[in-house]
Structure 1
Amino acid sequence: MIYYLFDLDDTLIMHPKGKQLNYDMIQSDDKLNHLLSKCNGECYIYTNGTGGHALECIERMNIKDNFTKVYSRDTIPFMKPDFRSFKSVTNDIYRGGNDMFFFFDDQLINLKIAASVGWVTFWIHPDYKKAINYSFVTMAFPNIYECLSYLENKY
């Protein structure tokens, strides 16, 4: 089974440059909803934000039904990039066999730790072309849409 773990802020939902994001700015995202529904496995939110923030965002984006669970600062004992945070999430999800963890984040330090626990890492960032400089990044994309469109044809 493939487990898709998504950071929320600046990965699934982009914050406007120079502006603070407020919930009224968040719109339904039919394209993202469609791409998430095509993921061949289980999807999770894995954020350092609160569970309430995550739920508010994914409900406003109309993508909540795609997620099995939300991992947040108020549901797990450690936050990213703490190694123990990744181990806690792995231990909660892992069912054995040939499980694969696909992790999507905009922060390189989080991807580095994720790679160290055996996760497949996807850097979602405008500077994605610099990923060649980071051996712990499996693949990089400028946004989550391009990444999920690519994966839709591979898995």
Structure 2
Amino acid sequence: MRLLAWRRKALPVFLFDLDNTLYDADRYCFPWMHTHINAFLMRELGLEPEAADQLRRHYWRRYGTTLAGLLRHHPVDPRVFLEAIHPPALSADVPENMPLRHWLIRLPGPIYVFTNSVASHAWRVLERLQVADLVEDVFDMESAGFQGKPHHHAYRQVLRRLRIPAWRCVFFDDTLVNLRTARWMGMQTVHIEKKRRRARSAHQQVRALLSWEHCAVSPKTFR
């Protein structure tokens, strides 16, 4: 992580979820990633296709991630799992997004990505989007001790590495349970919700990331 003067200036720090926040993972990654997860479960646990799919869904609903369930119930290497389900080809179709780049450039503070995937995949997606050079660092499952969002430990690890209080963070995510933990810890939260379903787990809600107004957070608020 680069040592930056912004720590002394008390600027807001912008934390972004990756999938379905910075890009449309439902369209470009998730269908294939689910296939890779199922293949891993079939290969490592000896499951049939239907059983593997059911187990993936069960662990995701119960623990927040498939990996969390695997670590609790099976002797798997988390690094091997994460690399197996995020091969380089997974991000190959993610298109560049120049409007996103211009929007990020205007943010009045440093930018970080906080994801339940693996850093190598996150950086590949950011490169495809043409925004990697704008991101200071990626906090992934390994940096959180393989306890991802929404577990409190993951957020504490992020704050420890940033060396700032939670109130200086503005966190964007499409998943309410992730935002609920962030808000409880004191972060400012923005929910990306395409269907306009109201929720109280976040301070703000927008249908698309780029519709969030930069003036919603002023640097003066953090002085």
Q: Normalised by the size of structure 1, how large is the TM-score?
A: 0.87
Question: Which residue in the other structure is 2:27 paired with?
Answer: 16
Residue 140, structure 1, aligned to residue 205, structure 2: yes
Q: CA RMSD in A?
A: 2.0
Question: Which residue in the other structure is 1:101 paired with?
Answer: 169
Question: Which residue in the other structure is 1:79 paired with?
Answer: 148
The 3 A distance-change label for structure 1 pair 37 and 139 is: same
User: What CA distance in whole angstroms lies between the structure 1 residues aligned with 2:181 and 2:97?
Assistant: 30
Residue 91, structure 1, aligned to residue 102, structure 2: no
Which residue of 94, 108, 116 corresponds with 1:48? Answer: 116
SS at match of 1:35: helix
Structure 1: which 4+ aligned runs deviate by more than 4 Å? Answer: none
User: What CA distance in whole angstroms lies between the structure 1 residues aligned with 2:97 and 2:204?
Assistant: 24
TM-aligned CA deviation for residue 20 of structure 1: 2.4
User: What CA distance in whole angstroms lies between the structure 1 residues aligned with 2:185 and 2:31?
Assistant: 33
User: What CA distance in whole angstroms lies between the structure 2 residues aligned with 1:99 and 1:83?
Assistant: 15
Map 1:107-146 onto structure 2 (within 5 A).
Answer: 107-131=175-199, 134=200, 136-146=201-211
Identity %: 24
Structure with higher helix content: 2
Gaps (5+ residues) in structure 2? 1-10, 33-89, 219-223
Q: Normalised by the size of structure 2, how large is the TM-score?
A: 0.62
Structure with higher strand content: 1
How many residues in Structure 1 have an aligned counterpart in Structure 2? 148
Query: Which is higher, the Rg of structure 1 or of structure 2?
Result: 2
